[in-house]
Structure 1
Amino acid sequence: MAESTPPEPARSTGQERVLFALFVALLWWSRFRAPEHPAVPDLDPSWAQALGWALVHGLQFGTDLVFTYGPLGWFAHSAWQPELFGWKLLAFELVFKLALCVFLARAIVRVRGPALKLLFALLLLVPDPGAEAFYFTSVVALAAWLLEHTSARRAPAPSARELLRALPAWLLLAVIAWIKFTYLLLVVAAIVCVVGRLFVHGARSASRRHAAIASGALLVVWCACGQNPLHLFAYVTSAWQVARGYAQAMSARADELDVVLGVASLAAGFTFVAAAWWKAGARELLPRLVLFAAGAFVAFKAGFVSAGSTTITCFGFALWAPWFLARDDAPASTRMRASTLTAACVLAVSMALWGYQRAQIAGTGATTQPLAAWNQVLADHLVSFRTLDTLPEAYRLERAIFAEKYDLPRVRERVGAAEIDVFQVELAVLFLNDLNWRPRPVFQSYAAYTEALAERNAAHFRSERAPRFVLWRFGTIDNRLPGFDDAPALIEVLRRYRPVLSEGGYLLLERASKEPARPRVETALLRDIAFDERVELPPFDDRGGVLRLDLRPTFAGALQGFFFQWPRVELEIETDGGLKGAFRVVPDAARAGVLIDPWMCGQDAVENACSGGTSQRVVAIRVLGAEAVRSAFQPAIGLVYEHLADLVPPFDPAKARELRFSMFERAPASTRETLPFERGAIDGRAVLVVHAPSELLWELEPGRWRVDARFGIVPPADGTICTDGATFALVLRNAKGEKPFWRQSLEPRTRPADRAMQKVTHEFALPAGTRCLLRTNMGPNGDGACDWCYWTDVRFTKLAPEEPR
């Protein structure tokens, strides 16, 4: 059928142009985001900071870094990076976002009727659908504009004016594409829709030229970010692996009502687009339906894989996207078609708003006044704008505070300018200590959740690209099995690195000068097991037990995983220490193997394993077979239990003791423990948790000394203080007896100041044959049941002898 070319809208009056400009400014103001605070060593701030560091230092995405975020990802989550401050404000927030807002606002002009215009304007301004929905919808809006303004006439070639007019839209799409891989997927779908429409209309020359411009825009922006064009394919393939594994590794149970609302709102939006373009013919209808369906798919997956507050992405897309694919030049509608359009519009908006409100409540606890929330956003942005001139200095001072809090002077002194990586996620501690980061490809361990990604990290540590130092801080997410994240790389680190020191709760390891021998692998178990079957694992004298599980998906499970999410798989374990618990495992990564003998649960277990000390081991396992898991995976589970000989290094008692008491300047010569000492963290400091009564004894040379120490009573997790207090003392002991030099009692029930960390500095003379003790005793009632106390930052400093008077 002949193509129907939409007529150009009538020239706007001056008043309409002013109103349009004001609306664009207000929309931009609503979406403005100032640079964020400096990162602290937590999971999300760390990767946000890492993206900025990588961009500044020229790291290559796809080779040096493997992540779903691309070279422009930092600009969407901009943890403070001073070198990019101007680019963030001027290029990204002002130019780029303002241009996007122009395209978004333009759609209001095309909506018929003042009531619908007002409704659409309010929907664009007031709800904040989050960054994901904003960029997904922007892709749809730009593609819809290109569908309207690329001529499908069978001409020898499109006019230069048409190509130049389309260039800004293609450049904006290219910028969005390199923010995140899922945005790139939708941008590719948009290119296919625009170019495909021209092709099926017979405008072959136009389709080729627009395809060339779109590809060129992607390549130009990629190179402008300092990326090698030869690495582009590596980024796409590696980011695809990360995105593919997300639905299995990060899934969380979604509320059934939220799923129904999400599907219903997207289906209503799809119906709205179909009804709007039904009379235009298949060649105009199909590109728009494919475009909307592609956006709906990525928005639904982004919202419902991890569920909870992230469902706002799906509802935000359903609330916005259909409007940009509406038709303003439709012929007179039949009553049935008009009714269909109205019903679809009402259903899409109502279902999306309902789901949006539920997502807001799930994320913040209570958000029932969207207009008030929007007003607060505008006010906050005004404050941010007013303080932009002082923001760099404020963030510099804030970073200095964080750097002092997470200061690792001994690590800095030992590492110097050498390359270092962090195991497992707390990258920001490197940046705060100005260390030279050499990342493994999947630079946070939780994201190495497929067999291929895990093996890629392991290969990195086997190669010459591995850093000289590794800083190890135990951590995981979502109750995953300890030691499961990045397990093959963990094994390589154990084989190739040796402990140097422990500071602030971080273990510093240095690469051994000698390449380790090829490991001897012995298979102890090789068979299929069933769900809920208890399997006992044989012990090995020198540890080194690696468990591999092969959960094979069913066809129904694969479909569910592709279109929605995978069910959570849990492994129940029993240790030789009597612990029994269930932990999450990711089926794809489970095939790569996980070290369970020794069991790497907690920082103490990590440091024990690295120094050859004793740790618990897993003696039995059971794959739990919930109904959803049984339907997604085949009943037979492949199990391999292997022994890696000589994996754990020989026991080094001196190093083990040094690491255990790393929160002290020097390790005590002996201890007296009512209950075993434990390591912990309080107020960001590594502490030694002791139970009263207890003693720490040092053997110092005679002379004058000063002791500096911090101490206190461990704050209760539930806020209920059950201890009657505790007494802390510095005591000198010799053959004749003991002499206390300092004593302080804490009674947190009656004295609030005693609940905080305390500090003492004391000078004393130490005669020959005398030893120094730090003692912790029970409170005034002699009830030690709840007397959990701690010591940290203990330092003994030798002083010069006093001058004779």
Structure 2
Amino acid sequence: MLLALLVFTLNTQPPSGHATWGVDPSWQQALQYCHAEGLQAGVDFALSHGPLGFTRSPYFHPATYWANLAWTLLYGAVLTGAVLGLCSTLTLPWRFPLIAVALLQAPASGDLRLLLVAILPTLWALRSTRGGAWPSLAVCAWLGVLALVKHTLLFLSLPALALLVYKTWRTQKPFALALPLTWLLSHVLAWVALGQSLGAYPAYLGWVKEFAGFYGPGAGRAGPTWELVLGLACLASLGAYALICLRELPEPDERPALAFLIVLAPLSFKMGFVRHDVLHTFQFFGLWLALSPFLLPAERSARRALSAKLTLGLVLLGALTQLSFMRRVHPVARGNTALQLLSGPETLRARELVRMRALKEETPLQRIAEIVGQDPVDVFTFSCGAAILYELNWRPRFTLQSYVAYSPRLAEKNAASLSGDSPPQHVVMAWLCLDQRLATTEDGPALLELLARYELVYRHPSGLCLLTRRAVPRAAPEQLLGSFEPALGEWVELGSLGAGAKSMRVELDLSLAGRLYALALRGPGVFLEVRIKGGDVGRFRLPLPLARSRFLIDPLVRSGKDFQGLFAGELPLGEVEAVRLVPNEVGAWAHADRAKLEVYAAPAVAPAR
């Protein structure tokens, strides 16, 4: 009972806090806004989450508070039940990794907790020897609902469903045939219950495929090499041990669970190390610490027992490397646990409303909120949480935030929201970018539309500014100024193309070896080096899918103050002399011999007289 209480308490965090300018807080609160406004997934917005994605947000939103609280309690209850059920199937020493993750790591990571809420019940159903097919039916229904939370869970549910069918087919064929129907029925009913149109579902699946195909090259980022090597070592040792056990296990009932864990290995690695930062590596090692006991049947033989302990030690070493992050974000450290509910859910809600009003006075958006009133407004690039905090009439573009416009199609959809039939009257610009990218590659086509159709009306010392739609758009020249096919490392001179504003697009394919590398690890990347007058050279990370859409290259924009100057006509044109592409640490062998680089004329703001 004490273990159940601890797991439930630490993994049930009532909604609290408010997003303002942060990346993750903003999209999490944006999903709450989409649910509250009844927006259609795949038609009105697209993100790496589905229409149920709002339930994983830990932040307070007045319109979704009760729904978020209910789902938080449900997630905590399911995780607690799965941990207790699985612990009962393990001998005492092998329970500790699972308990450690449930008490220490899962509460510190919303993504890890969500994965465990899907994976642990599946593992329990695959290992269950009691209840006939009913555990599998219940888990299939649960997975059908969870598939609408995040695209990852949709992909994860498919191999889980196949293995549950395989397990049930051996003994109860009619129930086995009912499992896919159960998944589909729960999936469709949840979709409709969330206010989504069945007609929107095909479009939603199309964008799921788009995000899955472009996430790696669009969002991939290298991190410390030693963590990558440690992660590979964990995967190799666990995978090899699982394969040995799968071949030698005498009991067929144990094979589906091991097969499920082997399927999880490459999936978890791609999730944890394509974007190699502390959040994702924490999630990766936490997941494998939780699952490793089920791969390590120490009672098989003395030799197997030794290899089991060595393998588990390697996973523990990887997990321990994340302790500093865990100390910062654990709910006990933040004082944010289910114990707060003892004061009453309505009391918590009232307290958050008071904090929400106080927070409005601490951000630089107050003056902008007074100017825009209830006119339609959008926020660039990713700080949409501020618009929600001030209860502005937010009219989001398709991807809600700029950095997730990973593909040319997504970027063009965002740009179309500024030139279509119902564009926002105002745009708040807090133009920030991630991962040392060139700032203007974030929503590049949309920025060109902003230059043509909006003008600066207010600027804040912090770099924040407000744009208002022009009655008559500026000239938006699109003529091709030059086309080049440079080799990597070769400078392309732009000075001879004129002194006006310029945009650019880049196409660079991967070589066959590069495609194989991207399949196993993350996609090889490149840097864009920009030489300006005076000889200074700036270096920016250039995600290749983003670069296939036109983005502003001259004048060179590097900060929020530069964006203010861009729309005020204060940045010098013709400053960029040359550009070149330089391979990242992977090397030039991963790319084609030559790139295609096209330079176009771009809209420009005339200097103030």
Alignment TM-score, normalising by the size of structure 1 = 0.68
- AA aligned opposite 1:221: A
State the partner residue of 1:192: 162
Shift of 1:132: 2.8
* Matched residue SS, 2:599: strand
The answer for the alignment partner of 1:168 in structure 2 is 138
Determine the structure 2 residue equivalent to 1:630.
588
CA displacement 1:652-710 (0-9 Å, x = unmatched): 43xxxxxxxxxxxxxxxxxxxxxxxxxxxxxxxxxxxxxxxxxxxxxxxxxxxxxxxxx
Q: Find the counterpart in structure 2 of residue 545 from structure 1.
A: 502
Alpha-carbon distance, 1:296 to partner:
2.0
**Aligned-partner SS, 2:19:** coil
CA deviation vs aligned residue, 1:35-70 (integer Å, no higher than 9, x gap): 231112222222122111111111122222221122
State the 1:277 CA deviation: 4.7
What whole-Å deviation, never above 9, does each CA across 1:18-47 have from its counterpart, x for those lacking one?
xxx443222212322232311122222221
Asked if 2 retains the 8 angstrom alpha-carbon contact of 1:540 and 1:643, the reply is no
Mapped partners of 2:605, 2:249: distance in 1: 73
- Give the alignment of 1:277-676 within 5 angstroms: 277-278=246-247, 287-309=256-278, 310-324=280-294, 337-339=300-302, 341-361=304-324, 363=325, 376=332, 381=337, 384-387=340-343, 389=345, 390-406=347-363, 408=365, 411-503=368-460, 505-514=463-472, 519-538=476-495, 543-576=500-533, 579-616=536-573, 617-626=575-584, 628-644=586-602, 647-653=603-609
Query: Which of the numbers 46, 62, 79 marks the counterpart of 1:100?
Result: 79
| Aligned equivalents of 1:534, 1:594: Cα separation in 2 | 18
Conservation of the 8 A alpha-carbon contact between 2:515 and 2:590: yes
Q: Given the alignment of the two structures, is residue 145 of structure 1 paired with residue 124 of structure 2, yes or no?
A: yes
Change (3 A) 1:577 1:453: farther
SS in structure 2 at match of 1:81: coil
Structure-1 separation of matches of 2:158 and 2:483: 44
Q: Cα distance 1:321–1:577, how it changes in 2: closer, same or farther (>3 A)? A: same
What's the offset of the Cα at 1:360? 2.5
Deviation at 1:356, TM superposition (A): 0.8
- After superposition, the Cα gap between the structure-2 partners of 1:482 and 1:203, relative to the gap in structure 1 and judged at 3 Å, is same
Q: Which residue pairs with 2:149 in the alignment?
A: 179
Q: Does 1:51 align with 2:15?
A: no
Q: Quick one: distance in 2 between partners of 1:127 and 1:490? A: 40
Residues 499-508 or 215-224, more deviating: 499-508
Matching residue of 1:260: 229
One-letter amino acid of the structure 1 residue matched with residue 563 of structure 2:
V
Find the residue that maps to 1:483 and give its secondary structure. helix
Please give the per-residue CA displacement for 1:605-645, whole angstroms capped at 9, x wherever unaligned: 3334334444343221121234513122122111111224x
State the alpha-carbon separation in 2 of the partners of residues 597 and 114 from structure 1.
64
Query: Hey, what's the Cα distance between the residues in 1 that align with 2:35 and 2:466?
Result: 26
List per-residue Cα deviations over 1:64-91 (Å, max 9, x = no partner).
Answer: 22211222323323221122222233x2
Gaps of 5+ in 1: 1-20, 152-160, 328-332, 368-372, 654-805
CA displacement, residues 92-138 of structure 1 (integer Å, 9 cap, x when unaligned): 22233212321221011112x44444665456445547333333333
Q: Indicate whether 1:239 and 2:208 are aligned.
A: yes
In 2: Cα distance, 1:533 partner to 1:495 partner: 32
- Report the residue type matching 1:59 in the other structure: L
Q: Which residue of structure 2 lines up, in the alignment, with residue 786 of structure 1?
A: none
Taking structure 1 as reference, are residues 577 and 434 closer, same or farther at Cα in structure 2, changes over 3 Å only? Answer: farther
How far apart, CA to CA, are the structure 2 residues paired with 1:575 and 1:290?
56
Where 1:214 maps in the other structure, the secondary structure is helix
Aligned partner of 2:55 in structure 1 is: 75
The two structures, once aligned, show a CA RMSD in angstroms of 3.2
> Which of residues 11, 17, 20 in structure 2 aligns to 1:40?
20
Contact kept in structure 1, 2:484 and 2:492, CA below 8 Å? no
Cα gap change, 1:404/1:394 in structure 2, threshold over 3 Å: closer, same or farther?
same
| Structure-2-length-normalised TM-score | 0.89
Whether the 8 Å CA contact 2:414–2:446 is kept in 1: the answer is yes
Q: 1:266 offset after TM fit, Å?
A: 3.0
Q: CA deviation at 1:318?
A: 1.4
Cα distance in 2 for residues equivalent to 1:221 and 1:529: 51
Give the secondary-structure state (helix, strand or coil) at the position aligned to 1:639. strand
Equivalent in the alignment of 1:221:
190
SS in 2 for 1:69: coil
1:291 to 1:388, Cα distance in 2 relative to 1, 3 A:
same
Higher strand share: 1
Change (3 A) 1:236 1:98: same
Distance 1:350 1:465, change over 3 A: farther
Alignment partner, residue 803 of structure 1:
none
Q: Secondary structure at the match of 2:44?
A: coil
Alignment of 1:659-738 (within 5 A): none
For residues 271 and 288 of structure 1, do their structure 2 counterparts lie closer, same or farther at Cα, with a shift above 3 Å needed? Answer: farther
Indicate the larger mover: 68-77 or 113-122: 113-122
Computing the radius of gyration from Cα coordinates, the structure with the larger value is 1
The alpha-carbon distance between structure 1 residues 547 and 228, as it changes in their structure 2 partners (threshold 3 A), is: same
Structure 1 Cα separation of the partners of residues 334 and 470 of structure 2? 55
The 3 A distance-change label for structure 1 pair 261 and 448 is same
- Structure 1 residues 497 and 577, CA, compared in 2 at 3 Å: closer, same or farther? farther
Q: Are the aligned partners of 2:97 and 2:289 in contact in 1 as well (CA < 8 Å)? A: no
1:64 aligns with 2:64: no
Partner SS for 2:439: coil
Q: Once the two structures are superposed, what CA deviation does each residue of 1:581-614 show, in whole Å capped at 9, x if it has no partner?
A: 1111111111112111232333343334334444
Alignment gaps of 5+ in structure 2 = none
Task: Describe the shift of the 1:118–1:296 C-alpha distance in structure 2 as closer, same or farther (beyond 3 A).
Answer: closer
Matches of 1:404 and 1:167 in 2, distance apart?
Answer: 51
Aligned counterparts of 1:249 and 1:375: Cα–Cα separation in 2 = 31
Further displaced range: 594-603 or 480-489: 594-603
- Rounded Cα–Cα distance in structure 1 between residues aligned with 2:336 and 2:543: 40
User: Secondary structure of 1:136's partner?
Assistant: helix
Deviation by residue 1:361-406 (Cα, 9 ceiling, x = unmatched): 4x36x89xxxxx9895697637634455543233222222221123
Aligned residue for 1:445, secondary structure, equals coil
